[in-house]
A and B are shown apart, each in its own frame.
Chain A
Amino acid sequence: MELPGDLKYTKEHEWARIEDGTAVIGITDHAQEELGDIVFVELPEAGSEVEQNQTFGTVESVKAVSDLYSPLSGEVVEVNGALQDEPELINSGPYEEGWLVTVKLSDEAEIDDLLSAEQYKAFVEEEKG
């Protein structure tokens, strides 16, 4: 399970790369592996608002539909358009070319609610049981 140390994570298996008041958001390597081949992604439009822990889109694998939960609140400033024709980029590069949206943060205090790589790793291990 790939787990970059410089990112923050959530229990919904999303990651956030935070820099200068914005966050690039995606789903983790663990998430894409559990989902299998991703065939469809539905993302919000640039300019729309997202709220921490609220759904902001869906990612679909062959077998299932999964909701996406925003790790942080703010305004969507960029959406990864490549995913429309190539949703499989999430499988091949969940932390790079498979990024979902970039959000301009409205409340940086929310960053404290997120998990570190170690905390996320422990959470995943516990989930596996």
Chain B
Amino acid sequence: MEEGLKKTPLNSVHKRLGAKLVGFAGWEMPLQFSGIIDEHLSVRSSAGVFDVSHMGRIEIRGEKAASLVQRLTTNDVAKMGNGQVHYSLLCYPDGGIVDDITVYKIEDDRFMLCANAVNKDKDFSWIRENNKEKADIIDTSDESCQLAVQGEKAEEVLQKLSDTKLSSLGYFCFGTVKIDGVEAIVSRTGYTGEDGFEIYFSHSKAEKIWDAVFEAGERFNIKPVGFGARDTLRIEMKYLLYGNDIDSKTTPLEAGVGWAVKLGKGDFIGKEVLLRQKEKGVTKKLIGFELIDRGIPRSGYPLYDKDVKVGTVTSGIMSPSLKKPVGMGYLDIGYSNIDTVFDVEIRGKRVKAKVVQTPFYKSRVKAGH
């Protein structure tokens, strides 16, 4: 195991459970416990728990906190009530993506941004460099813990540990509730396409809450889930992974998340370029595809139309739920319509594929809640 990897408060628990550990974004994290496919299918049929404490949690507070968040992110915080969370992006002036995040509006003058682990320090510096509003920016990552409890049984499991009626928490809403007597922010959000929650609480309560969730979930055979399954689950939903599907050289419009870019709101970093791109149209688009012939598409594999390179795979797997090879990739705009057939080059061999509707797996989030 690499030296100098950071450990979450649950690291000893992962080891005790026999997890296969890997380095990820500078952290020692579990790749799998019982097996990637087993964990994936458990989340889709019952419930699973992810330690995602490695992620960045940055609070922005002060009179002008909302202005700062509004000016640095693409989605519209003016439309948010307290207790609401939304998906958003931090962009560079050229429209490239700094990070994709979720933004929690705790109070009118207090926001929490949940950032990708690999970008936490970059995001923190970016926000500070651009803090014209002189808001307080606090990295609360080290003092807090974050778990995701996902699957159709997730609510039943957490309800056993809370006096607050969780069924009244709508999709992309959150509340400050007690889980096993511990104060926590609980949001109905996730990265799996199943109903579920993310819970944020003090790092000192990590093992207590983990054990409580597993005890409450025992009769549902709740399982610990590692990063291998985290990736297969999110790919089935065509959810983005920074570094694979988006980076500083892609815009939210190319990545298909234009719905999180509110060009009608006031000024924000990247707005001008994105407005122009919206008017002109994008030249490439992130699409979902499935292979027609045998093989597995993987990140970096080129896409061809005869001998012309027309794109690249950004993420790909053998889907455990659908039992077929699916992937995400950028295709030149002329090829991005549903049913377009093209070739994926898999280690020197051309394999046929076609653009399909996404998500690949039908979402089961409680969006109408």
Contacts and interface: CB of A to CB of B under 8 A. Distances in A.
Contacts of A62: 36-37, 228, 232, 317-318
Interface stretch (A34-42, A70-78, A106-114, A118-126): A34-42
Nearest to B298: A65
27 contacts: A36-B20, A36-B35, A36-B36, A36-B228, A37-B35, A37-B36, A37-B37, A37-B38, A39-B37, A39-B318, A40-B294, A40-B295, A40-B318, A40-B325, A42-B294, A58-B347, A60-B296, A62-B36, A62-B37, A62-B232, A62-B318, A63-B36, A63-B228, A65-B298, A65-B347, A84-B294, A88-B37
Contacts of B20: 36
Interface residues of B, number: 17
Interface of A: 36-37, 39-40, 42, 58, 60, 62-63, 65, 84, 88
Nearest to A60: B296
Contacts of A40: 294-296, 318, 325
Interface in B295-341: 295-296, 298, 317-318, 325
Contacts of B52: none
Contact of B31 (A58, A63, A65): A63
B323 to A, nearest CB: 9
B32 interface: yes
Contacts, number: 36
Interface string B92-128: 0000000000000000000000000000000000000
Q: Which A-B residue pairs are the 4 nearest by beta carbons? A: A39-B318, A37-B37, A62-B36, A37-B36
Nearest to B37: A37
A39 B32 CA distance: 15
B320 to A, nearest CB: 8
B284 to A, nearest CB: 26
Contacts of B35: 36-37
A1 to B, nearest CB: 15
Contacts of A63: 31, 36, 228
A95 to B, nearest CB: 19
Nearest to B349: A42
Contacts of B296: 39-40, 60
Given A36-B32, A62-B228, 10 more contacts: A36-B36, A37-B36, A37-B38, A39-B37, A39-B296, A40-B295, A58-B347, A60-B296, A63-B31, A63-B228
A60 B295 CA distance: 9
Interface string B266-307: 000000000000000000000000000011101000000000
A37 B35 CA distance: 7
A14 B228 CA distance: 25
B326 to A, nearest CB: 12
A65 B20 CA distance: 18
Interface centre among A36, A37, A40, A88, by most chain B C-beta atoms within 10 angstroms, is A37
A58 B37 CA distance: 20
Contacts of A65: 298, 347
A84 B296 CA distance: 13
A40 B325 CA distance: 10
A60 B347 CA distance: 12
A62 B37 CA distance: 9
Most chain B beta-carbon neighbours within 10 Å: one of A63, A65, A88: A63
A87 B295 CA distance: 12
Nearest to B325: A40
Contacts of B294: 40, 42, 84
Contacts of A42: 294
A68 B38 CA distance: 25
Interface string B142-154: 0000000000000
B77 to A, nearest CB: 37
Interface string B325-369: 100000000000000000000010000000000000000000000
Nearest to B39: A37
B1 to A, nearest CB: 11
A88 B295 CA distance: 15
A36 B32 CA distance: 9
Contacts of A84: 294
